[in-house]
Chains A and B, each alone.
Chain A
């Protein structure tokens, strides 16, 4: 399967704990995006990378959130000191600069903070 993959698919944690999610984009794609989706709403942009450079961060991305893409391939999204309001689906997408703008989404990681 050459699509976008995300791990884990589900995560349940207690308030105050740290969590980390991983995204593996389509192999030749140089752009990688993180979105957050809550029930009944569309995905909301969090941040994106071109290769290893983080080019934009949304105001939604508080100081407790950090994303990395150290080698320009996979990416991690870490949430520190989780809060109940962080409960959501975290989606990753990738695209190819210079090719079609199409963003291909992974299956998401569903986070529940108790």
Chain B
């Protein structure tokens, strides 16, 4: 089955700096890659996603890049703010018919004011 590895497990940055989180996946058939933000005591919330037919997607301060050949994808957060502090998860999914997502183990991001 699919295996997703996520690095780093913890990341501390100064407010205003950029943060980058990287994930690799094993199943070349995966074609949908969402990123989730999870705050304490809450369920994961989707922040951005990318499909395998594009290499990059951006939404304000957040961007995701995908390298299908190398089977890795990354989350980029620019101009970080203290409210960005949370646990971030990447996931890899087959197409809709398969349904389930395989998650990485998460990155705890701390943005210091």
| Contacts known (A42-B106, A43-B89); A91 close to B44, Cβ less than 8 A | yes
B34 (CB) vs chain A CBs: closest residue:
A102
Contact A106 B43 (CB under 8 A): yes
B66 at the interface (CB under 8 A from A): no
Task: Determine, out of B13-21, B68-76, B96-104, the stretch whose residues face the partner at the interface.
Answer: B96-104
A25 at the interface (CB under 8 A from B): no
- Contacting residues, chain B, for A93 (C-beta < 8 A): 43
B46 at the interface (CB under 8 A from A): yes
| Contact pattern, A 30-65, Cβ under 8 Å of B = 1, otherwise 0 | 010100000011111100101000011010000000
A107 at the interface (CB under 8 A from B): yes
| Contact pattern, A 73-114, Cβ under 8 Å of B = 1, otherwise 0 | 000000000000000000101010110011111111000000
A46 (CB) vs chain B CBs: closest residue:
B100
Q: Which of the listed residues B32, B44, B104 has the most CB atoms from chain A within 10 Å of its own CB?
A: B44
What class of interface size applies to chain A in its complex with B?
20 to 34
Contact A42 B89 (CB under 8 A): yes
B64 at the interface (CB under 8 A from A): no
Contact among B45, B99, B101, B105 for A41, CB-based, below 8 A: B105
Contact B43 A108 (CB under 8 A): yes
Bound: A42/B17 CA distance, A: 26
Bound: A31/B96 CA distance, A: 10
Q: Could you tell me which residues of chain B, from 38 to 57, have a CB within 8 Å of some CB in chain A?
A: 41-46, 49
5 closest A-B pairs by beta carbon, nearest first, are A42-B103, A105-B43, A45-B100, A48-B99, A105-B44
Question: Which B residues fall within an 8 A CB radius of A?
Answer: 4, 6, 32, 34, 36, 41-46, 49, 89, 91, 93, 95-96, 99-106
